[in-house]
Structure 1
């Protein structure tokens, strides 16, 4: 068993590995740019350096048995040179390579025969020359987009014009706007020996392309679950991933599933697993990269609601009063990331509420209860 895991990235995704690492007897060594980053507080050792600093990653490798990722904002060519010197990355860099650039990612999905929205690579100038754009359009930066950054829903010519200066020199992907019925997501992991486990399919709700709510499990037909599971298994197998993937999907009004984006790591849509599943996504990632048997992804409750606690002001508060009220909700689990500064849209924590009420047998009743819980959490947090 590998016992020293290096993590490139020190945000909340690395921070949430702490309990699993302690349980499994694993030391976490983190490469992250700021001493105030969440994972610094739980790491055995910290290398303070930018994520893409390959020299710092070489130091990380010298102290670790294996290196994994909290985010994908890396210098892949530089890491490839380290891999050639024997550094062990899991997932392997060959698995990351087709996923880091959104155009390459979509092209890879198409190559595998997996369904996606229509797409093409374009510059903002080329988009402007389209004879009759079919608004709304979706524009995404090909690299470094997350939490709504780098994704633009363009509804009018005026919207497009307003982006010209901002995106003049940025490689983009233009994709069709999908009038989806719901957004879905799934976490799936693959071990060194090729074993694959797939978590329950969940429904996500986004605002301004940022995840606000997750409902587990998604109340969808078995045929939809089977489509999602097949997509996850094909991706993990073809990429030969050792680790965990987060897969975001659209469910269309005709019942078809389209792959939206893939994250080669733990993911916000899987935070509910910390409290609701036999094995959290964070423990699963560590199990996979350390060569341990994968754990059960099964839910241990009827359902779960996860709500992100997003910043809504610029402040240096700890929001303790609101956190205390949230913790008083029955079956609530509050996870506070310990960030020093709040600003609008910043992820400061999340709350998961478990549902075990045996009277909630009807799916519509469960949905109604979950929605009421999500609204109650948000009324406490946002004060409205």
Structure 2
């Protein structure tokens, strides 16, 4: 019997890892991606060479697979809607994606379902310059300004200290629609991955701590060292959100842990997520295998960890180069229990996610010393 085929819109490292995990789920993947050199092409059974937002390309993709899912949010929902109407099965449904792709409507959706948000407002091009300060006043300063669409890894995100800086920065980026939200003096940043099947079965992964450098995730520590009550609150948020969206697949939720153990949602990613990479080596079912199980209607796998603790460190670009960093990767692979994942991207640049390292640990292991060793091997002096 032929294997089920899952079409994946996007051909970056997330789709590449889905392809690595596809045999465990008994499926094959077909990717829609612009270049034959994109990371996911080698692990896919087939590919459609087309831009991510190209609905004609997605129609060709749908002709080669049983169900279509997403690796990123850079899609055109209006253009995809006729395909869904004609019978193309998208998982998650386009209606489940719609409130999440715009950061302002995402905040509105969360608030509408009683989920904890920072205070927020929006600015768009109908707002006069002399009204900007009044609109921001209920938020107060400092605040965070985010472009409402297409931002990732800190792109389109600005820390704003004053009303004058807000107006100057907004004008400098040519006044796109932006979200303004209160700056949260968090104690930790947390994340959780949650999956849901078409039958409504839900599986929640452990709550993890994420650590950012220059607004890009550098490290993930699983599980997070937080009180049980915080873990339960995050798990409850995950259940409420994925059910409210009627979402099928894997969803990533980033959160702030504020003083007093208050939990607030930072952002929601409607797909597999960087904060869940540790699951490849440290959980019974990885987030990538889980995504494929969910969208093909199979029973979800266990999310239990297979070690006491896991450390995931992103290998971020620190220079503009065409190097494959073979020597550094060989040294990293010599660290006990370390698994090195290299995405095969064509060229490095500062902040670009080139790969990651996962280390599975026992409770007594000194994870902070191992973290220091990884970052010393990878980053030039002064960069870590």
TM-score range (shorter-chain normalised) is: over 0.9
Aligned to 1:122: 123
Q: CA separation in 2, counterparts of 1:269 and 1:144?
A: 19
The number of residue pairs the alignment matches comes to 375
Aligned to 1:22: 23
Structure 1 residue ranges without an equivalent (≥5): 361-365
Aligned to 1:371: 368
1:251 equivalent to 2:257? Answer yes
The answer (yes or no) to whether the contact 2:29–2:44 under 8 Å persists in 1 is yes
1:85-100 superposed matches below 5 A: 85-100=86-101
1:145 equivalent to 2:142? Answer no
Aligned to 1:383: 380
Q: CA separation in 1, counterparts of 2:223 and 2:167?
A: 41
CA offsets 1:150-188 (integer angstroms, 9 cap, x no match): 111113466435523432231000000000110000000
Aligned to 2:37: 36
Q: CA separation in 2, counterparts of 1:146 and 1:243?
A: 20
Aligned to 1:3: 4
Q: 1:22: how far off?
A: 1.9
Q: CA separation in 2, counterparts of 1:38 and 1:225?
A: 34
Change (3 A) 1:131 1:338: closer
Aligned to 2:359: 353
TM-score, reference length from structure 2: 0.94
1:192-211 superposed matches below 5 A: 192-211=198-217
Aligned to 2:75: 74
Q: 1:130: how far off?
A: 5.7
Aligned to 2:56: 55
TM-score, reference length from structure 1: 0.94
Q: 1:371: how far off?
A: 2.2
The answer (yes or no) to whether the contact 1:200–1:297 under 8 Å persists in 2 is yes
Q: CA separation in 1, counterparts of 2:3 and 2:90?
A: 12
Q: Residue 240 of structure 2 aligns to a residue in which SS?
A: helix
Aligned to 1:289: 295
Structure 2 residue ranges without an equivalent (≥5): none
Change (3 A) 1:298 1:169: same
Q: CA separation in 2, counterparts of 1:131 and 1:219?
A: 35
Q: CA separation in 2, counterparts of 1:63 and 1:131?
A: 49
- 2:304 aligned to which of 275, 298, 302: 298
Q: 1:24: how far off?
A: 2.6
Root mean square deviation of aligned Cα: 1.7
Aligned to 2:108: 107
Q: CA separation in 2, counterparts of 1:181 and 1:159?
A: 26
The answer (yes or no) to whether the contact 1:205–1:214 under 8 Å persists in 2 is yes
Q: CA separation in 2, counterparts of 1:24 and 1:115?
A: 35
Change (3 A) 1:155 1:371: farther
Q: CA separation in 2, counterparts of 1:308 and 1:131?
A: 35
Aligned to 1:337: 343
